[in-house]
Amino acid sequence: MVETIGNTAEGNMIINVGPQHPATHGVLHLVITINGETIQKVEPHLGYIHRSIEKMCESLTYRQFIYVTSRMDYLSAHINNHACALCVEKGLQIEVPTRAQYIRVIMDELTRIASHELWWGAMAMDLGAFTPFFHAFRERESINDIMEETCGARLTMNYMVPGGVMQDIHPDFQRKVKAFIQQFKSKFSEYNEMVTGNIIFQNRMKQVGVLSAEDAISYGCSGPAARGSGVSCDIRKIYPYEIYNTLEFEEVLETGGDSFARYMVRLNEMHQSIKIIEQLIDNIPEGDFQAKTKAVLKLPKGEFYQRVETARGELGVYIVSEGGTTPYRIKFRSPGFSNLSVLDHIARGSKLGDLVAMMGTLDLVIPDIDR
């Protein structure tokens, strides 16, 4: 057991950030050794929201376990479900109808935008600017309304089933999505005016938490955290799933490696997601929204791995099947877990105030880390 109170032998102070702390956005517990304002060591203590989803999934059927995963990274719940659905489909070799694929990808990208919106607001709030939070939520609210109409839920959508989506889209779906795209485009300049261009903000972000490309790979970082360091790791580009290989979009890369680079990656990713949705929204083909599947799914004996790009990075679903109705072993490779492990490395030597900038730009979602 590590001492979490008092001082170290060298006279450095140990402070506990979390599990209840305004900057950790959840129940992350960081034990920080500081010398004055300078961070010497950051040690994460996890498990405050560990629900052992992997163990739970071992006793849930292939239809049921998908919905537990909404509770991992709740901000990209839809993409988590998507990964599980894809993995089961891979095992059963189900051909998903094109309409379902289109809907899935649109929903994925909407989720990604919603997640980035929340991240943007929350990160600005960490740095002391409260106002952006409300501006971000204005746009996020529109996405949630769209989700609510079609999926029936706003946060944990549970819209995926093996073989497609649960029901067809709402008749108003396309109009609302287009209205959202308009809204997003007209309001986006506010984001830059309010936060990106602010000199205080730039000073807080630039050269803070610099992560080199080698370290990003070695620490297993993925998603915007790694792309900010110039590591090309967008699963949608490298190992395309669904219809991503037919779509035109760019993998956003920045080379700075600092917090500002990670920030810019996420901002630009929102634009790319909008671009993807624009390509799809008018062309959703007619047809089934779900493939015909058996009532009870039995995956053949073997191992199946599916990786997708969530808002936070690479999510891997690893199913080991013994041929039964439930997985024998299931492993979720969550992006947050690996991204968190780099925090100690980049935080050493920085000021305490920088820690929130780093945590903010790594975009940690604690249930995703703990699972």
Asked if 139 touches another protein (CB under 8 A), the answer is no
Among 108, 126, 309, 363, binds another protein (CB under 8 A): 126
CA distance linking residue 72 with residue 366, whole number of Å? 8
Among 66, 157, 299, 356, binds another protein (CB under 8 A): 356
The answer to whether the beta carbons of residues 62 and 299 sit under 8 Å apart is: yes
Asked if 207 touches another protein (CB under 8 A), the answer is no
CB of 218 to another protein, least distance (A): 4
CA distance linking residue 345 with residue 74, whole number of Å? 27
At a CB cut-off of 8 Å and minimum separation 6, what does 343 contact? 30, 42, 44, 358, 359, 362
DSSP annotation of 321 reads: E
CA distance linking residue 87 with residue 316, whole number of Å? 9
Nearer to another protein, 152 or 324 (CB): 324
Among 29, 78, 116, 135, binds another protein (CB under 8 A): 135
352-362 vs 259-281: helix crossing angle, rounded to 10: 20
Asked if 246 touches another protein (CB under 8 A), the answer is no
Asked if 253 touches another protein (CB under 8 A), the answer is no
Asked if 145 touches another protein (CB under 8 A), the answer is no
CB of 183 to another protein, least distance (A): 13
Asked if 152 touches another protein (CB under 8 A), the answer is no
Site string for another protein, 288-327 (x = CB under 8 A): --------------xxxx-x------x-x-x-x-----x-
CA distance linking residue 255 with residue 237, whole number of Å? 18
Q: Which 33-72 positions form the footprint of another protein (CB under 8 A)?
A: 37, 44-47, 50, 52, 54-56, 59-61
Asked if 179 touches another protein (CB under 8 A), the answer is no
Using alpha carbons, select from 51, 52, 65, 53 the residue that is nearest to residue 324.
65
Asked if 219 touches another protein (CB under 8 A), the answer is yes
The answer to whether the beta carbons of residues 54 and 80 sit under 8 Å apart is: no
Residue 318, beta-bridge partner list: 305, 331
Asked if 345 touches another protein (CB under 8 A), the answer is yes
